[in-house]
Structure 1
Amino acid sequence: MRLKDKVVVVTGGASGIGRAIAILFAKEGARVAIGDVTETVKEGGAPTREVIAAAGGIARFHRCDVSVWADVDALVTATVAEFGRLDVIVNNAATLGQARPLLETTEEDWDQVMAVNAKGVFFGCKRAVQQFLTQPLVGDARGRIVNISSQHGMVCAPGKIAYGTGKAAAAYITKQVAVDYAEQGIICNAVAPGRILTGKPLGGPGSDALEYSHARTPMPRLGRPGDIASAALFLASEEASYITGHNLMVDGGWMAY
């Protein structure tokens, strides 16, 4: 129960990594508000909110497009109105868009991906910090931010220039927010997944294939959503009270290879 009675917002919580984070955080005692454009689970199964409720947890779903400020504002406002405060936001929502190299990437492709992967993280951080600054310190923090970045953004994402650039922005925003608001008791970190097996496609023009991911990862398996959820849980908990501005790689050794 490392998040007992904490209030958490998870964007992109309907499927994949966000779903695993929301379920684990609720299991650890958090009251979870899920922000997503749909409750439909890409991998199949009952909606995340229902899975949490069936296990005895507390969860809410709010339709939220993270590229729209009014949606992000409404998500946090509604959560605080019901539960009284915000302790953690996990900015997980992301899109691959059209996986294309530079010359095949259109302005529309670029804008679509950056609106979610960069602007969405910016909006999530901004709205959370606004709320955190109205709250008293609890232990060492007024609130915690966990952004989901990627190994792509740290190294190139072959054939995915918009995606990699957006994830690089998420990693940079993490450092900036951490430094700018450390004195006010706001902790901001990121988790950088390696190849994680979710409902997102692995193929696409110029992209790295599943076989390449296995060959590139030193550990004998690829990642699971639960691997990222566990890392996010650590960074969201009081166990990580003296860690901020860090981009934690959870990649099976990919970046060490």
Structure 2
Amino acid sequence: MSGKLEGRVALVTGGGQGIGRAISESFAREGAKVGVLDLKTELAEEAVDAIRAAGGTAMALTANAGKRDEVFAAAETLREAFGPITVLVNNAMFNRYGPLEEQTEKTISLMVDVGLKGVIWGYQAVLPDMREAGQGAIVNVASPAAVIAMKGGIMYTAIKAGVAAATRSGAAEFGPDNIRINAIAPGPTQTDGANLVVTEEAWERRRQRVPIGRLGQPQDMANAAVFLASDDASFITGDMLFVDGGITYAFS
């Protein structure tokens, strides 16, 4: 690796599995000291063990990304261990698909708390560090659902549209502080978690819809996140990068 994130301290929410874990590991390979935040301690620790085994630096942080006090406490723990946080990835999400009339208040509240409020708590937790450092990079994980309709996913699309809006508005508000905020919008991605609930036939149907002819892998998303967090993207902010094999514009 080329050390694109050398000397940075990065906080990755939902960093213990799937896309979040791939991002955590990729950031560490690029030289960042990574705080792997996850609701499940064992997942965060497994990711950290893998990072350390590969020669990287990381620490496990257990927190609910939807709870402001827990996010702030985790950020403080990371700050005390490694120094000011200058990279943030807001990846954590709790999601349930299904007909809107079947969604309970509890489910909707959890989705909003983690998927949307969690982005704001992440901003608030790291902005003082970034302002003091005179620079920072935030990468939000949005979705093509932010701009296209999804049957059975009204709340999910609403939340991801909110993430996209928070990306644009945050970029405008914090740009004068030399803090860049961008988002990635992953297309169909074969994570371990998704493989537990998506059948081979369903994956094949999704693959057939992707113009580039294959499904996304967590590493595809991690590569995009590294780019947006690094100085290679120093003049890019407020953008949403569709890492989707072309599916968004092919079907919008």
Q: State whether structure 2 residue 106 is matched by structure 1 residue 108.
A: yes
What is the RMSD of the two structures over their aligned residues, measured on CA atoms? 1.9
Q: State whether structure 2 residue 84 is matched by structure 1 residue 85.
A: yes
CA contact (8 A) 1:171 1:247 kept: yes
Shift, 1:209, TM fit? 3.9
CA contact (8 A) 2:75 2:126 kept: yes
Query: What residue in structure 2 maps to residue 226 of structure 1?
Result: 219
CA contact (8 A) 1:109 1:162 kept: no
Shift, 1:104, TM fit? 2.0
Structure 1 Cα separation of the partners of residues 192 and 160 of structure 2: 19
Structure 2 Cα separation of the partners of residues 125 and 171 of structure 1: 14
Q: State whether structure 2 residue 16 is matched by structure 1 residue 14.
A: yes
Percent identical? 37
Structure 1 Cα separation of the partners of residues 60 and 103 of structure 2: 33
Residues 41-71 of structure 1: CA distance to partner in whole angstroms, max 9, x if unpaired? 49xxx81000000011100001010111111
CA contact (8 A) 2:39 2:63 kept: yes
Aligned residues: 245
Structure 1 Cα separation of the partners of residues 14 and 213 of structure 2: 28
Residues 97-118 of structure 1: CA distance to partner in whole angstroms, max 9, x if unpaired? x311222222222111111111
Query: What residue in structure 1 maps to residue 27 of structure 2?
Result: 25
Structure 1 Cα separation of the partners of residues 27 and 194 of structure 2: 26
Identify the range of structure 1 (118-127 vs 50-59) with the bigger mean alpha-carbon deviation: 118-127
SS in 2 for 1:118: helix
In structure 2, list runs of 5 or more residues that go unmatched. none
Structure 1 Cα separation of the partners of residues 203 and 157 of structure 2: 18
Query: What residue in structure 1 maps to residue 128 of structure 2?
Result: 130
Structure 2 Cα separation of the partners of residues 108 and 199 of structure 1: 26
In structure 1, list runs of 5 or more residues that go unmatched. none
Give the structure with the larger helix fraction: 2
Residues 152-210 of structure 1: CA distance to partner in whole angstroms, max 9, x if unpaired? 12112221222221111111111111001111111100001011111334798xxx943
1:107 to 1:209, Cα distance in 2 relative to 1, 3 A: farther
1:256 to 1:114, Cα distance in 2 relative to 1, 3 A: same
Q: State whether structure 2 residue 191 is matched by structure 1 residue 183.
A: no
Q: State whether structure 2 residue 158 is matched by structure 1 residue 165.
A: yes
Query: What residue in structure 1 maps to residue 239 of structure 2?
Result: 246
Query: What residue in structure 2 maps to residue 66 of structure 1?
Result: 65
TM-score normalized by the length of structure 2: 0.92
- Structure 1: 4+ residue segments shifted above 4 A: none
Q: Which amino acid aligns with 2:189?
A: I
Structure 1 Cα separation of the partners of residues 5 and 39 of structure 2: 26
TM-score normalized by the length of structure 1: 0.90
Structure 1 Cα separation of the partners of residues 100 and 243 of structure 2: 27
SS in 1 for 2:193: coil
CA contact (8 A) 2:41 2:61 kept: no
Q: Which amino acid aligns with 1:132?
A: M
Residues 105-138 of structure 1: CA distance to partner in whole angstroms, max 9, x if unpaired? 22222111111111111111222223322x132x
